[in-house]
Amino acid sequence: MSYIEFIALFLIAPILIVGIQVIRRTQRGEIPSHVARRGLYGTLALAGIALVYTTPWDNVMVERGIWGYDPHRVLGIIIGWVPLEEYLFFVLQPILIGLWGLLSWTPIRESPIVPSAGLRWGAGLIMVGAWAVLLAMENRFGPQWAYFKAILAWGLPPLILQIGFGADLLWDNRRSLLIRWIPPALFLSAADRLAIAEGIWFLNPDLTTGLTVLSLPVEEGLFFFLTSLLVAGGWTLWMHPAARHRLLIRKPQRIAGRTRA
């Protein structure tokens, strides 16, 4: 199996299947049209963010030799250090997860909540502390932990931003978040296991732990569960009315010749 065949089978085909079901649910009125539009805009925005944020990191991973690909399994269009198919993966994964979020949409979801700045700041600071410890202790781990550390060092900052902005909103919608997160993460992890078995890409045994779960390297499982969480969490915040209100900037009002906020 080539990399582009893998993309077609495990990303493009599911996107088409899920997308058709989303269209049908929207036409039947099960998904309001304004919800479908906003969900699609958020999905495309997350795909763009994923491409911009992941491209430098992934190129560094290949340049350092942490992972590689079979040159006979790709189209041969290399941009930087990675093949074109890899960039397609960056874009298509958020699209799949976003459409899955729309497909699993239910109108009985957001309940009124009491905003909790304490939860946001507390959870955010804990995550910042964990990230700082990871960076400070980087040289204390052996080279076999290189990929594991790189995933966390790269993936935790956007997660910290999401938690700091909307940990209370995510917790209030935890059931919906789990539905949007876990199934795609499991599906992509299983697809990744097949790709490695097929030899489409491979990991450097000197820079990975060698630990596996159901024959899937733990680093790859961590990557797909973390990236799927980032997309599902970002999409959930994008769709949440309270999150949109938090982004609004109150304009000063002029009263009796004086200005007040």
Dump pLDDT digits (tens) for 200-241: 999 999 999 999 999 999 999 999 999 999 999 999 999 988
The pLDDT of residue 168: 87
Per DSSP, the three-state class of 12 is helix
Q: Which string of b and e fits 13-45 if b means at least 16 CB within 10 Å?
A: ebbeebbeebeebbeeeebeeeebeebbebbee
Dump pLDDT digits (tens) for 37-91: 999 999 999 999 999 999 999 999 999 999 999 999 999 999 999 999 999 999 9
At 23, the pLDDT band (50, 70, 90 cuts) reads very high
122 or 102: which carries more pLDDT confidence? 102
The pLDDT of residue 130: 75
At 107, the pLDDT band (50, 70, 90 cuts) reads low
In terms of C-beta density within 10 A (0-12 exposed, 13-18 middle, 19 or more buried), how is residue 117 classed?
exposed
Cα angle for residues 214, 215, 218 (degrees, 5° grid): 85
Average pLDDT over residues 6-28: 97
Ramachandran quadrant class, 248 (left: phi over 0; alpha: psi -120 to 50; beta: rest):
beta
Residue 254 pLDDT > 50 = no
Residue 256 pLDDT > 50 = no
Dump pLDDT digits (tens) for 171-208: 888 999 999 999 999 999 999 999 999 999 999 999 99
The pLDDT of residue 260: 37
The pLDDT of residue 252: 43
Is 113:242 a contact under the CB 8 Å cutoff? yes
The pLDDT of residue 87: 97
Residue 78: phi, psi to the nearest 5?
-105, 125
Per DSSP, the three-state class of 216 is strand
- Residue 237, both tokens: 């915040």
Rounded distance, CA 53 to CA 207, Å? 23
The pLDDT of residue 101: 96
At 114, the pLDDT band (50, 70, 90 cuts) reads low
Rounded distance, CA 205 to CA 161, Å? 32
Percent above pLDDT 70 for the chain: 87
